[in-house]
Structure formats: structure tokens, C-alpha cells
């Protein structure tokens, strides 16, 4: 039975009893290559007349099973797994854009994506315009539109200040002008946000984050309609960016608990955001689940939960920031997110370090901004750790 409910799909999609051993758990096909018993069988496989596996850079049964699970979560025709989130995004840009094309990108993106666009995608001969999609997105898009514009790329909620882009507004504009849309859905996860159902063409994730959920895999995934899947798969194959079967298996195991993890992430993040918004050492809190957030209404419209990420700003110099960091007991500072542990990061000195100070200021990233991945520990323990460390600032 195939269920479209996320808790069911997370556990059962892509799974079957192993035909050889009847194993309940998906086997790891730890092989680089697959054999053929005849020349005709090999030719049929290479011509695509059969679904036989050839070489794990092209396809692998463990990887394929996890791709089915991830596709079910987003309600897509299929999914393509990659060795990282940035590998997924680069494959999408390179497969959908040609030299001379123009794309519109949000100016509020993960720093690694910004670097990829500026230093690598632009070298493909692609013109890129970064625009503010938060305030009056239709006006900004209309102003940036060119005759050679092909797609709009954005993320929501944004990393690291949790701004919320109105997906409906972007999709309506794109469809009116015959443009493709790509969204990075990493921060929300499929549990909290379903962009394909809102008309977005392609969704991708850094699966390293909430999808994997345990800080033990590096992976990316793109979910796309049937008409685009083959070309994205081909770019992955010849970029050499395929995911190995062992990592895919770990990812698939992590995804099985995605729904229960995200519910706890959501609860703990909202509780922590409310607590920090009243804390005397905190200047401001960025979290769309707060009713005082300017993005609360649009977040309620397009999200079923507000996610496990939040940010807050401390009015402190470098010395005071270091005191805060050194006094945290349970919470650790790491340059990633989405795991079960509560962790923090200072974006100005890490994920967005290579942006100019002016670029960071334009998207509200100050030196005192602290990004929090709210884990699944006891909510009171999390708040107590932040409280005692903040009081030493």
C-alpha cells in the first residue's frame, strides 16, 4: 500500500522485502558494477531498453530505493540523489541553463550557494541578477525580467534570518512569464512545506541536514517532474556527483524518523524563540512561528510547521561573543544544521563569511547574529543552557 501521508511515506516508500533473502531492511548494494550474461543484455541496458543496473555512478539499487522514498515525501515524479546539496544545485543550474541565459536569484541565500552562483555558474555564460524577493517580489521580479530570463531561484525560510518568501507570488509570476522555478526546501523539510503542491517546478535539499538528521551523511537531492528527471540524472552521471550506496542507506534510515523528529524540532524551536524574545541579553529573534514576526502570516499560509531553525542577535563585541560560546555547556558550535543535537553557528564568520560586509548587512547578518539548530533534547534543558550562557555576556 502506497500512502501519500508523510509519516507513512517516510517509513514505507521505496521499501520491499528483499527478493533473495526476504530481509525487511533495505540491503546495501556495496558494488561499483553489475554483470551481464550476454552481449544482447548489455546492449539493451546501455540503450535503456531495460532497467538493468550497469554501474553505480549511473544507478544503484540502494540509492534508487532511497530516491523513491524522498520523491514520495515531496510528492514528485522522482528524485535524484547527489553527493552533496551543492552538487544537486549545480546539476540543476547546469541542466536548465545555457550560455547566454539569464536567471533571477534571491539575494537572501545560503552563502555557499551565493559563491557557487557567482564563481561557477556565471562562468557558464549565465547572467545572474540577485533581487530582494521578500519585499514586493512581483515588482522586483518585473524590474529584473529580461527576454532571456529562464528561471527564478530562491529558498524559504531563508538561511540564516528565517525570512519567508511568498511562494504563491513567485509561482504566479513565473507561470505568467513561462519561467521555471527552483526552491531550496532544506530549512523547512517536506514535513513543514510542500512547494511542488504550490506549483514550484523543482525542489532540492541539502539532505545532509534535516532529511538525514543525524550529522552522519553528506548528500543532496533534487525532486523534479518526469520531463526534467532524465536530464538531471544525466548531469549527475557525467559530473561524477553520484551518492554512494552506504551513505544512501544511512540517509534512508534517517528519513524514516523525519516526521517525528521534525515535530520535536518545531516544538522546541518555537519554545526557544518565545523564551529568547523575552531575554534581556537578546536584541531580536528571527523565527516565523512568533506571532510578532513580520513573516508569520505568509508562513502560516504556506507552512504546516515553522521548522527547527531560528536566529537571534546579541548586541556584543567579539570578546563577549566568545564568553557566550565558552559558557554553553550542552550546545556546540558547528558549521551545519539539521541534526538531533542543538547547535549554533555565527553566520558572519562561517556560512556567509565570503560575502561582503555590505551584502551581509543587506540581509540582516550582523557579527552578533547567532543561528540555532534547535535539537530534540528536552526543551527546558535547551533554554537553561542558553540562559546561563547569555547571562555571562
Query: What are the cell numbers at 237?
Result: 552521471
Query: What are the cell numbers at 95?
Result: 541542466
209, 236, 261, 281: which one is catalytic?
209
Name which of 305, 274, 295 is nearest 386 in CA terms: 274
Assess whether 238 carries a catalytic annotation: no
Name which of 292, 328, 349 is nearest 162 in CA terms: 292
101, 108, 184, 201: which one is catalytic?
184
44, 53, 57, 383: which one is catalytic?
57
Task: State whether residue 353 is helix, strand or coil.
Answer: coil
Cα-only R_g, the chain: 21
| β-pairing verdict for 369-373 and 343-345 | antiparallel
Residues in the chain: 393
Assess whether 287 carries a catalytic annotation: no
Assess whether 209 carries a catalytic annotation: yes
Residue with grid cell 534512508, as numbered in its chain: 252
Rounded to an integer, what distance in angstroms lies between the CA atom of residue 386 and that of residue 330?
A: 9
Q: Around Cβ 245, how many Cβ atoms within 10 Å?
A: 23
Query: What are the cell numbers at 60?
Result: 544503484
Rounded to an integer, what distance in angstroms lies between the CA atom of residue 328 and that of residue 305?
A: 28
Assess whether 391 carries a catalytic annotation: no
Cα 340 to the center of its chain, rounded Å? 16
Rounded to an integer, what distance in angstroms lies between the CA atom of residue 337 and that of residue 207?
A: 11
29, 69, 108, 110: which one is catalytic?
110
Instruction: Please identify every residue annotated as catalytic.
Output: 57, 110, 184, 209
Amino acid at each position: 500500500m502506497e500512502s501519500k501521508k508523510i509519516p507513512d511515506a517516510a517509513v514505507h516508500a521505496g521499501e520491499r522485502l528483499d527478493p533473495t533473502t526476504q530481509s525487511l531492511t533495505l540491503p546495501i548494494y556495496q558494488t561499483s558494477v553489475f554483470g551481464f550474461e550476454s552481449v544482447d543484455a548489455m546492449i539493451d541496458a546501455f540503450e535503456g531498453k531495460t532497467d538493468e543496473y550497469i554501474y553505480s555512478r549511473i544507478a544503484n539499487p540502494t540509492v534508487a530505493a532511497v530516491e523513491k522514498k524522498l520523491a514520495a515525501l515531496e510528492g514528485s515524479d522522482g528524485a535524484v540523489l547527489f553527493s552533496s546539496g551543492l552538487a544537486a544545485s549545480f546539476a540543476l543550474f547546469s541542466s536548465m541553463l545555457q550560455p547566454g541565459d539569464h536567471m533571477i536569484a534571491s539575494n537572501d541565500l545560503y552563502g555557499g550557494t551565493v559563491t557557487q552562483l557567482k564563481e561557477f555558474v556565471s562562468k557558464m555564460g549565465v547572467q545572474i541578477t540577485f533581487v530582494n524577493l521578500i519585499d514586493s517580489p512581483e515588482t522586483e521580479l518585473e524590474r529584473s525580467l529580461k527576454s532571456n530570463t529562464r528561471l527564478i531561484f530562491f529558498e524559504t525560510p531563508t538561511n540564516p534570518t528565517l525570512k519567508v518568501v511568498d511562494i504563491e507570488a513567485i509561482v504566479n509570476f513565473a507561470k505568467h512569464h513561462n519561467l521555471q522555478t527552483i526552491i531550496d526546501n532544506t530549512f523547512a523539510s517536506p514535513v513543514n512545506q510542500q512547494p511542488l503542491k504550490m506549483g514550484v517546478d523543482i525542489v532540492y535539499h541539502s539532505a545532509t541536514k534535516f532529511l538525514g538528521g543525524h550529522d552522519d551523511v553528506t548528500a543532496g537531492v533534487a525532486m523534479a517532474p518526469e520531463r526534467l528527471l532524465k536530464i538531471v540524472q544525466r548531469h549527475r552521471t557525467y559530473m561524477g556527483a553520484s551518492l554512494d550506496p552506504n551513505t544512501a542507506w544511512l540517509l534512508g534510515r534517517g528519513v524514516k524518523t523525519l516526521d517525528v523528529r521534525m515535530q520535536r524540532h518545531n516544538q522546541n524551536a518555537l519554545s526557544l524563540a518565545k523564551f529568547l524574545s523575552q531575554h534581556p541579553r537578546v536584541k531580536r529573534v528571527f523565527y516565523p512561528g512568533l506571532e510578532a514576526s513580520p513573516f508569520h502570516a505568509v508562513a502560516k499560509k504556506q507552512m504546516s510547521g515553522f521548522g527547527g531553525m531560528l536566529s537571534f542577535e546579541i548586541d556584543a563585541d567579539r570578546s563577549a561573543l566568545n564568553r557566550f560560546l565558552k559558557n554553553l555547556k550542552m550546545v556546540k558550535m558547528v558549521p551545519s544544521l539539521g541534526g538531533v543535537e542543538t547547535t549554533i553557528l555565527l553566520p558572519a564568520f562561517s556560512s556567509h563569511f565570503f560575502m561582503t560586509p555590505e551584502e551581509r548587512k543587506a540581509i540582516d547578518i550582523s557579527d552578533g547574529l547567532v543561528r540555532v539548530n534547535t535539537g530534540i533534547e528536552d526543551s527546558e534543558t535547551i533554554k537553561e543552557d542558553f540562559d546561563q550562557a547569555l547571562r555571562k555576556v
